[in-house]
Structure 1
Amino acid sequence: MNIAVLSGKGGAGKTLVSVNLSEVSENSTYIDCDVEEPNGHLFFKPDNIIKNNISVKIPIVNNDLCEGCRTCVDFCKFNALAYTDKLLIFDDICHSCGGCMRFCPNGALSEKEKVIGEVQKGVSNGIDVISGILNIGEPSGVPIIKELLNHIDENSHYNIIDCPPGSACVVMESIKDADYCILVSEPTVFGAHNLNMVYELVKLFNKPHGVVINKYINEDNPTEKLCKEKNIKILDRIPFDKELGNLNSDGVIISREKDEYREVFESLLNTVTKEVKYEAITNP
């Protein structure tokens, strides 16, 4: 079962939920797709780490063959190519689609490998921990996320996907194989606004979903109201707790340390499991 955990903004509690769901699962793989700022490993502190570079292909030009026709420049919608007295290629904004090479009438363009980041895999307390890290300045983490999702273990009872914050293309890539999406939000106006963004996204992808309200105080909050207005299922409410905040900021997995929070996340996992089974029956 593939469970994606999303939030419309950073700091809402997405990694808190992802890490602890992985911890309370009997057999799980944790996949950190927040490749710009991965932090799940700070909690798991995995051992036996294996690192693999992730590369993309970018164009190089043979100026002896280039006649300055600008076909490639006109093709590139990302403005990664320009022509002055010779063809200029801006690696940092190239999206590695390969179209410029295909359309060059003189075969002046070929490709070279460019390392954009890496994937790290380790083990923590029997949990496979897989993280992607995008190099600073790279335009897109999608190639790394695609490689991360290749590590989904069909033999694992649960694959917990810690998505990037927001609703951009990296998030879309992260949820495409998800059986269920958990949307994590704070009980604030800003939290409700950003929850609505990811809610619209999972609806677009037709993914079963529910909300976890983190730092919960009472029912009179904008996120609760949004869920009632749009009939979004609230899976759980994690109370505002100073001790939880302190432990979390220290990189402690709270379900390992506190039985009451282990019960919270076991209950959440059971609820999501029932939701997925119900969805499988009603929409085979």
Structure 2
Amino acid sequence: MADKPLTVAVLSGKGGTGKTLVSVNLAAAAGDAVYLDCDVEEPNGHLFFKPEAAEEETVAVKIPQIDTALCTGCRKCVEFCAFHARAFTGNHPMLFDEVCHSCGGCALLCPAGAIRETDKAVGTVFSGVSDGVDVYTGRLNIGEASGIPVIKRLLSKIPNSGNRPVFIDCPPGSACAVMESIQDADFCVLVAEPTIFGAHNLAMVYELVSLFHKPFGAVLNKCQAGENPSETFCLEHRIPILGRIPFDAELGALNAEGGIAARENERYRALFGSLLEQIGKEARHEAASDSQR
């Protein structure tokens, strides 16, 4: 971990639990950091950071195109495609590019050399700077089936060396896009609400990070007096509780206005600073344990 920056993925079982709140404020508390918004269908971290000197980069995938003048109608491409992106209507070849996985196999297989690959734009990566934080935002084009190509491009922005921590704001849930987002993470932060539904969604991401053998801990958001099913779940499954964020009107107002609490409020600067220290401590402990195994 000393040779590369600490990379922290922030997850939640559904939207609205406070995943972006936690990841944005952790990056702001770190001061000199990198923030990646991998929630490419609905990115909103940039609304808080408001990065300057923004740049835009198109993300494209390779899509096969058939030269009908060369196509012999052998249908080998149809037989090969496991995703049913190829078909023929009579002798007319068709491509369903929304389910094409850009593997390039049909172009390699075509005996007539009738298939070539062209670029298809599927999304955009925006980059900028906000008070020392490098902000990278992925945005999937409307109608595209998978955000993974955009997420892959975002993850390529993680520095290979240095001491600047990296915070990955993952998509909600536990599907393929989340798996892609956490694969290179050194530590995962699971954000949960204090409800039965919140505990259910915490269980989803707990199962995911366990399957990936990732070190992790939980942050309990919107905490109030009384029963907290998510806290009970953590205690039952021996999940380290990294910190608790209170259900607080001042924090809610700051968040609703697009403010970053760790920059604008001393109390929350201390809270997220303490959370950042706890994450570093847990990550170092896990790294030391791995080295001894």
TM-score, length of structure 2 as denominator length: 0.94
1:127 to 123, 133, 137: 133
How far, CA to CA, are the matches of 2:195 and 2:36 in structure 1?
A: 28
Aligned pairs for 1:76-155 within 5 A: 76-85=81-90, 86-153=92-159, 154-155=161-162
Partner residue, 2:256: 249
2:281 to 271, 274, 280: 274
Answer yes or no: is 1:195 the counterpart of 2:190.
no
How far, CA to CA, are the matches of 2:163 and 2:120 in structure 1?
A: 32
The one-letter amino acid of 1:135's match is: N
Checking the alignment, whether the CA contact within 8 Å between 1:51 and 1:120 is kept in structure 2 is yes
Partner residue, 2:224: 217
Checking the alignment, whether the CA contact within 8 Å between 1:29 and 1:156 is kept in structure 2 is no
Consecutive aligned runs of 4 or more in structure 1 exceeding 3 Å deviation: none
Structure 1 residue 51: deviation in Å?
Answer: 0.6
Partner residue, 1:43: 48
Checking the alignment, whether the CA contact within 8 Å between 1:26 and 1:157 is kept in structure 2 is no
How far, CA to CA, are the matches of 1:71 and 1:217 in structure 2?
A: 61
Aligned pairs for 1:229-240 within 5 A: 229-240=236-247
Q: Secondary structure at the match of 2:98?
A: helix
Partner residue, 1:60: 65
Q: Secondary structure at the match of 2:184?
A: coil
TM-score, length of structure 1 as denominator length: 0.97
Percent identical across equivalent pairs?
57
How far, CA to CA, are the matches of 2:136 and 2:49 in structure 1?
A: 10
- What do residues 223-248 of structure 1 show as CA deviations (whole Å, max 9, x unaligned)? 11211221111111111112211211
How far, CA to CA, are the matches of 1:61 and 1:28 in structure 2?
A: 46
2:187 to 175, 180, 183: 180
Structure 1 residue 123: deviation in Å?
Answer: 0.5
